[in-house]
Amino acid sequence: MPRQALELFIPGPTWLRPETRQAALLPEFGHRDSQAREVVSSIFDNLRAIAELPDDYDIALVNGSGSTGMECALRSLVADDDRLLCVTVGVFGALFHSMAIGNGKQVERLDFEPGCSIDLDVLEHTLRNGRFNVVTLTHNESSTGVVSDIVGACRLIRAHGALPIVDGVSLFGGNHSRIADALPAVYATTTQKCLALPAGQAILFVHRDALDKAAQVSNRGYTSDLLKHVEFGRDRQIMTTPDTTLLNQMQVQLDTIVHAEGVLQRFARHRAMRATVRAWATARPDRFELFVADADASPSLTTVSIDPALDPAALKAAMRERGYLIDTGHKKLNDILGAQSRRLLIRIPHMGDIGPAMLDRYLDALDSESAALRR
């Protein structure tokens, strides 16, 4: 029996344009042949444009998910006797902490309240007393729908002599990366969020000083060795065998972003959709409440807490009947909120190639079904 086709309104993997899916049918190629270098070169040129990337950054593609890239950066930049600080505003900030523990690193955690962004005064206080070598932070925390001021945070981190590693997974391609102002040692992102591609490639933007540091770190592993990945990247190759179907899709999609839609237009579209969703939720106080203040609101997805009378699972089932796959909140975060007898969250993504008309149709359906379920 054929599977029901659902329109994905989840915060990754995101909905694919038909053209991106069709690009999967382009001819396969050998990953060490000249054709591969042409494809990777085109991908790198467009990634550089989307990132507004300074010249002293290398690009590397790493087979795997965003987590694979984040762990590669962590393992390659944090020596065993280094002190690492993981700044968290939600589940994905905490993921860096789990990775550090799993890799036997000496790590401390600075947690901010879910729904809030990084408080720079508190960060500075922590940095002043900690003598950290590396600090991780999350550009766009997709469990809470919070965007952080990575420029302010990275400048503080560098001022205290540490190297910042930024998780840009759910923001890159949806708004300015801010790499040129923030100067992170590594900025890690991936394909299946705002770039509106299937998952499968981690993307690393690597500053020169990250290479100097990695050269002093032992036990970087093999597939997690940042230096090897950058070496292959400089030769416009990928270290281990990549999925050439995905590379074909990346070439077409990134070219469309840069040369058809335009990078700034894309960013503006996402900001406009954020405004739409926030206005929509504000107009329905009986059922929805914004979880994040305007100043901290993510440009790629909006978190709303829901009326306790609304069962997220029932809402998901009703929306599935309408042909939509919705998000019922990050499970770990909702477990925490539930334990505190607080209202649960759902997430409304407006990232990738979701456009205003598509979003309006989705919000109309969500409005009807949520109203019907409360009757």
Dump the DSSP string for 209-250.
HHHHHHTT-----STT-HHHHHHHHHTT--SS---HHHHHHH
Report which DSSP code applies to 327: B
For position 22 contacting its own copies by CB under 8 A, the verdict is yes
**Closest separation between CB of residue 170 and its own copies, Å?**
11
**Closest separation between CB of residue 5 and its own copies, Å?**
4
> Is there a contact between 127 and 160 (Cβ–Cβ < 8 Å)?
yes
**Closest separation between CB of residue 12 and its own copies, Å?**
6
> Is there a contact between 84 and 133 (Cβ–Cβ < 8 Å)?
yes
For position 67 contacting its own copies by CB under 8 A, the verdict is yes
For position 68 contacting its own copies by CB under 8 A, the verdict is yes
Strands 163-167, 186-190: parallel, antiparallel or unpaired by DSSP? parallel
CA distance 300 to 182: 20
**Closest separation between CB of residue 281 and its own copies, Å?**
22
Q: Residues 6 or more apart from 175 whose CB is under 8 A from it?
A: 147, 194, 267, 270, 271, 299, 300
CA-wise closest residue to 343 among 304, 292, 293, 285: 304
Report which DSSP code applies to 161: T
Cβ distance to its own copies smaller for residue 216 or 340: 216
* One residue of 139, 213, 220, 229 binding its own copies per CB under 8 A: 220
Q: What x/- string results for residues 29 through 58 when contact with its own copies is judged by CB under 8 A?
A: xxx-x-x--xx-------------------
Per CB under 8 A, contacts with its own copies among 88-147 are 95, 98-99, 102-104
The site for its own copies, by CB under 8 A, has a size of 60
For position 349 contacting its own copies by CB under 8 A, the verdict is no
Per CB under 8 A, contacts with its own copies among 312-341 are 325
Q: What is the largest CA-CA distance in the chain?
A: 63
* One residue of 141, 149, 225, 296 binding its own copies per CB under 8 A: 225
CA distance 218 to 273: 45
Per CB under 8 A, contacts with its own copies among 176-215 are 190, 192, 198-200
CA distance 156 to 118: 12
CA distance 291 to 224: 36
Cβ distance to its own copies smaller for residue 102 or 285: 102
Cβ distance to its own copies smaller for residue 218 or 341: 218
> Is there a contact between 227 and 234 (Cβ–Cβ < 8 Å)?
no
**Closest separation between CB of residue 211 and its own copies, Å?**
17
Per CB under 8 A, contacts with its own copies among 229-288 are 240-246, 249
**Closest separation between CB of residue 314 and its own copies, Å?**
15
> Is there a contact between 238 and 63 (Cβ–Cβ < 8 Å)?
yes
Tokens 């950290």 belong to 132
Q: Which residues bind its own copies (CB under 8 A)?
A: 3-6, 8, 10, 12-13, 15-16, 21-22, 24-31, 33, 35, 38-39, 63-68, 71, 75, 95, 98-99, 102-104, 190, 192, 198-200, 218-225, 240-246, 249, 325
